[in-house]
Amino acid sequence: MRTMARVVVCGAVALLLAATAVRAAEGAEAKAVAAAKSWLALVDAGQYGASWDAAAATFKNSVARSDWERMAASARGPFGKLLSRELASSRAATSLPGAPDGHYVVVQFKTAFEHKAQAVETVTSVLESDGAWRVTGYFIK
């Protein structure tokens, strides 16, 4: 009977640890999504320079601030103002093509703009060494 009690206790501890890990992962993912939404608010407001300032180091290292401002205005301007944005999905990853290994969350939004009724925005957030989630990639189609 003692062996059975140990099995039950070990099983309960394993379930508790697994649930704790799941909650931690969900919390990290929620922070990454929140970072993506906050960053998108800057882009929505046409504050492209500020969005570059708020981005991850990998983002800043891949595009100069002035180039980002020009590219973002060119990409977003024709769509007009934001009408709605809905979270479609988010998934954690530790490896992405063309990026160093790390902690990432790839977030997709279903978005409607004044001149583009259906768009998909993909925002990739990365956990940086200071513990903050910042945007490292943005694609819209």
pLDDT of residue 27: 84
Strand partners, 116: 113
Amino acid at 91: R
Cα–Cα dist 2/20, whole Å: 27
**SS3 annotation, the chain:** CHHHHHHHHHHHHHHHHHHHHHHHHHHHHHHHHHHHHHHHHHHHCCCHHHHHHHCCHHHHHHCCHHHHHHHHHHHHHHHCCEEEEEEEEEEEECCCCCCCCCCEEEEEEEEEECCEEEEEEEEEEEECCCCCEEEEEEEEC
Distance CA 53, CA 64 (A): 11
Residue 20 confidence (pLDDT) = 35
pLDDT on residue 36: 98
For 25-38, letters b (16+ CB in 10 Å) and e give: eeebbebbbebbbe
Q: What is the pTM of this model?
A: 0.81
Asked if 117 contacts 102 with a C-beta cutoff of 8 angstroms, the reply is no
Domains in the chain, CATH or no CATH each: 2-140 (3.10.450.100)
Q: What average pLDDT values come out for the chain (141 residues) when binned by 10 residues? A: 52 37 64 97 97 97 97 94 97 93 97 97 97 96 91
